[in-house]
Each structure stands twice: as C-alpha cells, then as structure tokens.
Structure 1
Amino acid sequence: MLGNLVTGCSVLAPAGMLTELSTGLGVTIRTAGLLITFGAIVLCVGSPVTAWLTSRIERRVLLTMTLLVLALTNAASAIAPDYESLLITRLVMLAVGVLYTPQAAGTAALIVPAQKRGSTIAYVFLGWSLAAAIGLPLITFIASRYGFRATYAAIALTGFASFVFLWWRMPGGLRGAPVDLRTWVDLGRNPMIILLLSITTLQMSGQFVVFTFMGPLLAKLTGASPDAIGIVFALYGIFGFVGIVIATRIVDSWGAWKTSLLFTGLLLAGVAGWAVSAGAYVLMAGSVALWGLGFASTNSMQQVRLVGAAPAFASASVSLNTSVLYIGQAIGSAVGGLLFAREWLYSAGYVATVFVALALAVVIATRPRRVTRAAAAE
C-alpha cells in the first residue's frame, strides 16, 4: 500500500504543481501538462510489455527494485536543469514505475485466501487514495512555497523509505503465472475482459479532462489561491480514501459489480456537479468531494472484477487494466489541454461528464447473469 502511495505521487505530481513547473521551467501551463500526457502514453504501452518481460521474476525483488528506481528518478527530477531533462527523466521513471500497481495487486492475490482477495486488493489500492488525499495537497503546499524541486525531493525520500520497508517485510519466493503471447490472446477473446477494460478507459478519460488542469481551472474560474486549490485536492483525496474504505468493507458481501455500480454513479454525480457549478468555488469543491468518493473505489473494483473474471491470469489482466487506465489519462489530458488552450474552460466539465456517463452505461451492461439451480446442477 505504501508503494502505491509513492507510485501515485510520482504519477500525479505534475497535476498538483502545474503553475510552479510552468514558472520554474519557463514553459506554458499546457506544455507542463504534457508531462502527464506523454507520461500516460509511456505507462499505457509499458504496462503489458513489462508484465510480459518480468512475469518470471520473484515478486519481492521486482517490487522493491521498482520502488528504488522511483526514488532515484524522483531525486533526479529535483535537479533537472530544464524541461526536456525533466520530461526524459519522467518517462524513464514511469517506464519502470508502471510495474508496481498491477504486480502489487497480483502479489496480494497470491498471499491471501480467495474469499479475502477482493478486500485485500482494495486495501492495497488505498495507497493511490492516500496519494490523492495526502500526497496531492502536500505537493501543492510544498511547491507553492518551496518550488517543484523540493517536492520531487520529498517524493524521493518517501520512495526510499517504502523500498526499505517492503524489502524488510515482504515474504520471498512469490511467483505468479508466467505471461506469454497465448495469455494475451486468451484475454483478448474474453468479452467480459474487453468490456471491463473499456470501463476503465472511459472513467479515466472523463476524469482527466478536468483533473489534469484542476488547479489552473479553479484559479481561472473562481480566482482560487494555491491554498484554496490545495483544499480541493485534499477533499478529492480524503473522500477518495473514505470511498475506498467503504468499498473494502462492502465488496465481499455486496459483490464487485454492485459496489462498482454504486461508486461509478457517485463519480458521475461529482463530475456532473463540477460542470453545472463551474464558477462557484464552494459548489465545485463539494462536487469534487462527491467525485472523490468514486475515483479510487471504481478502479479498485475494476481490478477485483478482472481478477475474478480470469483468476489464473490476474497479473496480466490487471496490467492491461493499468495500461488502459493510462490510455484514458492520455486521452483525457490531451482533450483537457486542447480545451484549456482554447479557453473553453466551462466545456471541460461537460465533456468529462459524457465520458463517465458512457462508463456507467457499460458497468450496467456487465451485470453478472444469475445462475439458476437447474443450470448449476447441470
């Protein structure tokens, strides 16, 4: 979970300090936003490739070395002399860091009994909620006062601590099922897997139309200060944490589909609320809190559903989920950047709402079929 906190902060960091990156590196806010867009492209390509290349590596070695690389590349980002150097460092960081989240989920599935798998994967994913609840507000706070370099240094220190703790506590000898070409073919022929992956893509595309530029959008639409922007990020993360705690508690009894339906509905309500209330800080902040309830919970439920749909290929399917998650980030941040550059600030929320509404429609379409007693007997 702590490793996911580091991974989440590494991925999300630019969103919390776009203005400071723009000022410190002498580039436009839209150019600074490309750190997220290009990074997402590397992540979406890298996830299935690295899952294939590393499937035979012992999990303790794989996860701890990934965290060490994240720590070192965040340290290198703190001393990057210009935008180009920072971009290259970030691409290297994410090309390796893409390993962590799907492999952590797959490893958790190896450690616990099947009946605890859903709640355990959701718990491991709490790290991403903490990255938003604690990490993003701290990133905004530190960057607004001490600059983006101090922020990267803080993430590097956290990454190194996570590396040490995981190496100390994680059991050795854990290995997942090897991933080969046939694995991807089998997953590609599974209609449920394809539909679940489309949900992730649509959810993330919609969110990142707004989320990538949330700070500058708040500043332009409401005149919010850096501290006021940090409060909104905190609400997003805190309610994300609350949402995933609730999801962790109910998923084993409700089932992953009902839990996913609930939190995707909350996600849609929050994003639509942002669109309708654009320009009113208090209402936008309240909408972000509602949005936050759904953002991490929906993705953790996606992982639970993917593991349940093909348990033998959990690491591969979760890697694909991570890949399409970052495809969604790339699509959303690119669309959001285009809207921001053209000053279509109010349109962003409505475009995001359309994406998330489509995701909810697909969630409804993937409702599990009831198995009758007669069919079960056969």
Structure 2
Amino acid sequence: MKSAPAAGRFAPTALMLGNLVTGCSVLAPAGMLPELSAGLGISIHAAGLLITFGAVTLCVGSPLTAWLTSRIERRILLATTLAVLALGNLASALAPDYTSLLIIRLAMLAVGSLYTPQAAGTAALIVPAERRGSTIAYLFLGWSLAAAVGLPLITFIASRYGWRAAYGGVGALGCVSLLLLLLRLPAGLQGAPVDLKTWAAVGRSRTILLLLAITMLQMSGQFVVFTYMGPLLNKLTGAGPDAIGSVFALYGVCGFLGVVVATRIVDTAGPYRTSLLFTCLLLAGMSGWALGAGSLVMMAGAVAIWGLGFASTNSMQQVRLVAAAPPLASATVALNTSVLYIGQAVGSAVGGLLFARELLHALGFVAVGFVVLALILVVVTRPGGRLPPPPERSRSCAQGAWQTSRGSGRRPAWGSKRVD
C-alpha cells in the first residue's frame, strides 16, 4: 500500500468537510419533512422514506463500491464522489416530483456511499500511526457539523424559502468542499486492494462481526426517533420550525462537543473505554427522550445528552475496527459504514411504521431497546475478553498495511488479543 510521505496542510480538515457534505446529503430530508410533504403532495411518512430507501442504497453501495474502486487513487476517488454529491443535490433542487427526487437521491447516494469509509482509510495513510485514532475521530466532526449547523440551516431555509432552496444550498457547499479537497489532499495515495479473501477474513472474525453489530444497533436506535424528530416535536409539544431547528442545533452542537472530547481522550483512555462512555451517554439521552415525551424542555435536554454520543460512538467503532485488524481496515471500515446505513434503514422503517400508526410515545422506548442491546455488546467486546483475534492474512499483506507506521516503534494491534 502506497502512502504519502507527509500530509498536505489541512488535508484532514478537507476530508472532514467532505463528511459534512455527505452528512447533509444523507440527513437533509429529516430537516424538511413537512416542506417536502406539502411541496410534493405526499404524506410525512412517504417523505421519511427518502431516508429509508436512501439508507438501503448506502448499505449496499458502501462495501460494493469499496471493492470495485479499491485500486483507484484516493484523491481522484474522493473528489469524484464529492462531485457526484454536489451535482446530485443541485439536481434534487430541480426535481419535478417525488419519484424523480427519489431516483436522483438513490443514484447520488449509490456513489456517495464511498466517501465516509474511504476518507477514514485515506486519513490512516497521511498521519503517523499514533495519531490515527484521533484523526479518524476528527473526520467525524463533519457528521457532527452536519447536525449542528447543516440540519438547522436546512430547516430554516426550507421553512422560509422552500425545500428546493435547501437542496441548492447543500449542492453549493459540495462544490466548495470539492475545491478544498483538490487543493489540500496529497496525490498518489493508494489504499490496500480489497479482494474476496479480504471479505472472507472479515467473515471469519467474531470480534469484527460483533463490532459491526454494535454499530447497527446504535444507529437503529437513534434513527427510530431521529428520522421523525421534527414532526414528533411538533405533535408532542407543539414546537414550530424555529424551535425544531433549535433542537436540531442543540443535538449537533453536543455531537460536535462529544467528538472533540472523544478525539482528545481516545489515544490515552483507549477506544474501548471511550466507546463505553459515549454509548452510556447515548442510552441516557434516548431514555430521557422516552420518559420526557410531551415536555419540550425535557426532550431538548435529552437530545443534548443523546447528541454527545451520536457521532462519537460511531467514530470509536471505526477506530476499534482499524485497531482490531489493520490489514483488513479498507474492508471493515466500509462494512462499518454499510451496517451504519443498515441501522438507519431499520430504524427509520420501524419509526415510520410507529409514526404512521400514531404510536408516538412508543418510538422512544423502542429506540432505548436497540441501544441497550448495543451497550451489552460493547461490554462483551471489552479488551481481555475471550473473543478470538481476527484471522491472519499473508505476511506481505500485513507488512504492506503497516508500512506507514514502521518507524513509530509501536507494535501493531492486529493479531493481538486486544480489541481496542
């Protein structure tokens, strides 16, 4: 695997801003469900299916595109992906009807599924081994910013200027991010090729499979509520667009703070302890939402606690997977993103069924159930447990995957008994 001798200045920031565009592209419908419903003449549940069907496309596309594009130079691959996201959002702004909007969204996300896992893999190529954990966590600030800044702005713009203007804004942001990536990301970066042996090795590792299950359960629990959070706040508390936008902003700001804290403590506390801490915060926030349903103050407070864990838990999952089997990182990070989107699809589908049946209070308790299961698996995968290490691959593959860190003097975590 070829690596750059040194990262371009602000290269991690350029990658992080690409995640901001990706996050806004994926989450945008959640911030303007009422406007999409009114503008396209569909129900809120049907508008929510933009997220559900999009998540299905993402979960299939992430591992498939990782396999098909693993030999493409990273800057070309990531820039092309951002270009598709930018053009897809601009085309969405011009969609004449719901069917056209759905088709554009699915085509856009089929390619957009590449960005987050490949950005994480690229970050591992441009920073020293001892900074990989914090850099990967930093990249997920983009998703936090998508919730902290992107969703409130989408809600604000859509409620005043319409959903087309909101999509246009995301498309313009994508163009800016594309330009920065082209200017700052070093050329010549090559990831480890992903072949059928890679997927077979992943499938034989119980450790990796359990870590992937944690991601799916965490995301399923969140998207039971998150997909319909705006309409839920309106129906349960009477909140208007500005209040809903403020809650989205609170969620995202706390998510941003959570990732900042996770980034600072992960290299000393370790990914497992950091993951355990933020999964507990996630559970506390979801429980507060379920128990406080009907009170805007209590629900907003619960969203703040929930927000601390929403992006940081997933960034820790990425770090734990990379540490568990570095030679398999290209595949496991892509699979983690895939199961993340499976979780989005499952959660949004379950939430949609409950919302359509007016079981508004039940959404919170179902979400709590998913997160409880995730927490149990986090504990099961603690370091020093009895889980077997991931299967070994060839020595040449291992050496290639670790050539970027040979000078660090640190022993690779792959093949050890520790999960973190």
Regarding TM over 0.5, the answer is: yes
Q: Which amino acid aligns with 1:63?
A: L
What SS does the corresponding residue of 1:368 show, helix, strand or coil?
Answer: coil
Q: Which amino acid aligns with 1:60?
A: R
What do the CA deviations read for 1:85-119 (whole angstroms, capped 9, x no partner)?
A: 00000001100000000000000001111111000
1:368 is aligned to 383
2:38 is aligned to 23
Is the counterpart of residue 144 in structure 1 residue 168 in structure 2? no
Is the counterpart of residue 191 in structure 1 residue 206 in structure 2? yes
CA shift, 1:315, in A, is 1.6
- Return the alpha-carbon distance in structure 2 between the equivalents of residues 31 and 80 of structure 1: 16
Is the counterpart of residue 103 in structure 1 residue 125 in structure 2? no
Aligned positions of 1:293-372 closer than 5 A: 293-369=308-384
Is the counterpart of residue 48 in structure 1 residue 53 in structure 2? no
What do the CA deviations read for 1:323-371 (whole angstroms, capped 9, x no partner)?
A: 0000000000000000000000000000000000100010011001189
2:175 is aligned to 160
- Return the alpha-carbon distance in structure 2 between the equivalents of residues 139 and 316 of structure 1: 33
Q: Which amino acid aligns with 1:131?
A: A
Q: Which amino acid aligns with 2:296?
A: Y
**Higher normalized helix content (fraction of residues):** 1
Q: Which amino acid aligns with 2:173?
A: T
1:213 is aligned to 228
1:72 is aligned to 87
Q: Which amino acid aligns with 1:111?
A: I
Alpha-carbon RMSD across the aligned residues, in angstroms, is 1.2
CA shift, 1:170, in A, is 0.6
Aligned positions of 1:260-271 closer than 5 A: 260-271=275-286
Aligned positions of 1:248-263 closer than 5 A: 248-263=263-278
- Return the alpha-carbon distance in structure 2 between the equivalents of residues 109 and 370 of structure 1: 27
CA shift, 1:312, in A, is 1.1
- Return the alpha-carbon distance in structure 2 between the equivalents of residues 316 and 130 of structure 1: 26
What SS does the corresponding residue of 2:239 show, helix, strand or coil?
Answer: coil
CA shift, 1:313, in A, is 1.8
- Return the alpha-carbon distance in structure 2 between the equivalents of residues 112 and 75 of structure 1: 34
CA shift, 1:316, in A, is 1.0
- Return the alpha-carbon distance in structure 2 between the equivalents of residues 315 and 21 of structure 1: 36
Task: Show structure 1 runs of 4+ deviating over 2 A.
Answer: none
Is the counterpart of residue 63 in structure 1 residue 67 in structure 2? no
Is the counterpart of residue 134 in structure 1 residue 145 in structure 2? no
- Return the alpha-carbon distance in structure 2 between the equivalents of residues 58 and 252 of structure 1: 29
What SS does the corresponding residue of 1:122 show, helix, strand or coil?
Answer: helix
- Return the alpha-carbon distance in structure 2 between the equivalents of residues 370 and 41 of structure 1: 33
What SS does the corresponding residue of 2:273 show, helix, strand or coil?
Answer: helix
Instruction: Determine what percentage of the aligned residue pairs are the same residue.
Output: 73
What SS does the corresponding residue of 2:71 show, helix, strand or coil?
Answer: coil
What do the CA deviations read for 1:215-243 (whole angstroms, capped 9, x no partner)?
A: 00000000000000001000100000000
Is the counterpart of residue 89 in structure 1 residue 124 in structure 2? no
